[in-house]
Each structure stands twice: as C-alpha cells, then as structure tokens.
Amino acid sequence: MSDQYYDYSGGFTVFSYDTGLNKGWYYILNTTGNDTRGAKAYYPSGTVPYYDNTTYEIHLPGVTYHYTDTILHEYAHYVMHCLYGFNYWPSGYIEYYVDKASNNITAWIEGWAFYFPLAVDNNGTYYGSGDNLWDFENKNWNTSGWDDGDNVIGRVTGAFWDIYDSNSDCAPWYYDDFTDGFNRIWNTVSIMCSYDLAAFKWFWVVWNGTYYIHSPYGGKAPNSTYNQQDWTGALMAIFQNSIDYRGAGDANCDGKARVDDVLFVANHFGLNEGDPGWDKRADVYPVGGGDNKVRIDDVTCAQHNFGNNYDCK
C-alpha cells in the first residue's frame, strides 16, 4: 500500500499506518529516504510468526495482528533481506533464546529484528505475540539470567537501542550516555549487507571505518567526521550491553593504553561486581569481557599493554 492508511478507530490491522507494516515502511522512508517496497503478509494456520527467506513472505498466523512489535519484527527480516539484495541470506541460523548465547549470525539477524520495532516506537520495551515482554533498556553486565557478549540476541538488540536512544544509563555500573538515532545504524547495516557481512562485530568494524580516522598517536584524528567523544560514546553504549570491543588495557576507552588506565585499574584492585565503588571498566582481563573482579591479572594487562594505540581490536 503506497497511501497512508490512518487507523482512526484504534483497531489493529497488518497494513495500518499506525500499527502495521506501513508503520515500519513509513518510518524508514521518512527517516532515511529508502523506499522498501514489496512486503507480503500471509495468514496461515499455526501459531508461530516467521519470515520465509525463500519466498520473501511474512507469515502472521492467529492473533499476531494484535501485536505491532511482532509485525515490525518480521518486516525487519524482510527489510534486511532487501538490503542483502535477495541474493544472500546468512547461513548458520539456529534456534534461539533472546537472553542466551546462540551464535554471531543468529544474534545479528534477530538482534536487528528485535531492535527495529524499538526504533519505530521509540521505546526500549518489546511487546510481542504470546504476550512476550522484553525490556532491552534496563540491561547491563549485572543482569541476572542473561548471557553476555555479541552472540546473545538480546545484547545485540540492546546495543543497537543504546546507540539509538536518548536515555542516559549512568549509575552505578551503567555507561551509556550516547544518543544517535536511526540513520547511522541504517547506513552501517546497509553497507554490511552490501558486502554480505553478518555479525555484530562487523557492525562495529564498518561503523568504525566509516565514521572515524585513527590517529597514530592514539585516539581519533582531528579530521575524523566524528570526534573522540563520539567514538568512546558508541563503544560504551555497546559495552553497556556486555559487548566489550575495547583494546587490551584501555580501561577508559579512548583508544590508548596509558598511565591513567593503569591507575584506574589499580585503584579498583580487589573489587568484585556489586561491591561499593565497583566499575566494570577496570575489569580489563580477560580481554573482551573480564571476569567481574579486578585482580592482579587486570593490573598486569594494563601495564603490559602500556603505550598501545587502538582503532578497532
């Protein structure tokens, strides 16, 4: 449907401008100028909504039409397939749980699909069919029952959301005060798909290579499109969601391992997650996630990497 259909009566229809596929289509069109046409909704028997990447069909059985986020989730799969040019769909997709580790391909595909309705609704809570409620805003390294890292769908969704949103998460071990909106995420995803890349780590590699120039002396060069604060802010929004792409020993995430990093780690020596004064940034070893305590191996990591400069590890 190329005309706006306003749902004045507050009913829920799959093609409604307010609640359905057109809501997602118009969001992309109005935000990025991209006209992602051709989505087809089918209403088969069964209970599980899904996107069929062989027929390009969105299957919305039963009472799915009551759940805007589910409709937009399945539409997001179609959108991603469009960006891949319909000639490619990442292999290696497996069954998943939102809060548990799967693999980087599944986390990428589903992380995007859970994020898209959040952006359209400008709300960090996902309310899907079967009354599934997921709060992607209030998650961090300390979230009970959630696995960590970029193989977890919910962590990828949260990272997208914290890059996008205007909410600051700042105490006591929240680190996201970054707000950027939809366009750079869309642009980065588009570039990735054009090169058949399918992992959140590639998202950071493409984002990093597109928007920043690295100084040989550490940090971002003055002629970068976006500055050091933007780079650190983006990485900390990702870090907020238990995805740690900092360089080894770079506690404060400025692209340099220096004396201030060694001192930061040393000043938190002996602390465990949950202790007063705890700061996850000091947990630099093992690189990429740590072990939720600051010990001699963290201090040693900061010391051994002293003088290193980082762009993207």
Query: Where among 197, 213, 245 does a domain terminate?
Result: 245
Domain end (from 225, 245, 265): 245
Say yes or no: 62 and 178 in one domain: yes
Is the distance from CB of 126 to CB of 114 less than 8 angstroms? yes
The verdict on 213 and 259 lying in the same domain is no
Please tell me the predicted confidence (pLDDT) of residue 132. 87
Among 41-45, 125-129, 175-179, 272-276, name the one with the lowest average pLDDT. Answer: 41-45
Low-confidence winner among 129-138, 214-223, 230-239, 269-278 (lowest mean pLDDT): 214-223
206 and 290 share one domain: no
245: left (phi over 0), alpha (psi -120 to 50) or beta: alpha
Neighbours of 119 (CB within 10 A): 22
163/255 same-domain check:
no
pLDDT at 136: 96
Looking at the 3D structure of the chain, how many domains does it have? 2
DSSP reduced 3-state for 72 = helix
Q: What confidence score (pLDDT) does residue 172 get?
A: 64
Q: 306, 257 in Cβ contact below 8 A?
A: yes
Q: Are residues 63 and 145 in the same domain?
A: yes
Q: Where are the beta strands (DSSP E) in the chain?
A: 40-42, 50-52, 57-59, 125-128, 132-135
Q: How far apart are CA 32 and CA 34, in angstroms?
A: 5
Let me know whether 238 and 254 are in one domain: no
- pLDDT tens readout for residues 147-197: 999 999 999 999 999 999 988 887 666 788 999 999 999 999 999 999 999
Adjacency order of strands within the sheet including 40-42: 40-42, 57-59, 50-52
Please check whether residues 201 and 296 belong to one and the same domain: no
Quick one: 155 and 15 in the same domain? yes
Residue-number span of the structural domain to which 79 is assigned? 1-245
**Same domain assignment for residues 258 and 211:** no
Per-residue pLDDT tens over the stretch 37-52 = 888 888 877 788 999 9
Q: Is 309 helix (H, G, I), strand (E, B) or coil?
A: strand
Q: Report which of 224, 107, 123, 213 is spatially closest to residue 164, judged by C-alpha positions.
A: 123
CATH of the domain at 268: 1.10.1330.10
Same-domain pairing of 254 and 135:
no
Domain end among 200, 220, 245:
245
Pair (149, 270) in one structural domain: no
Task: Tell me, yes or no, whether 147 and 209 share the same domain.
Answer: yes
Helices 68-83 & 183-194 angle (0-180, nearest 10): 50
pTM (2 decimals)? 0.94
Beta bridge partners, 50, equal 59
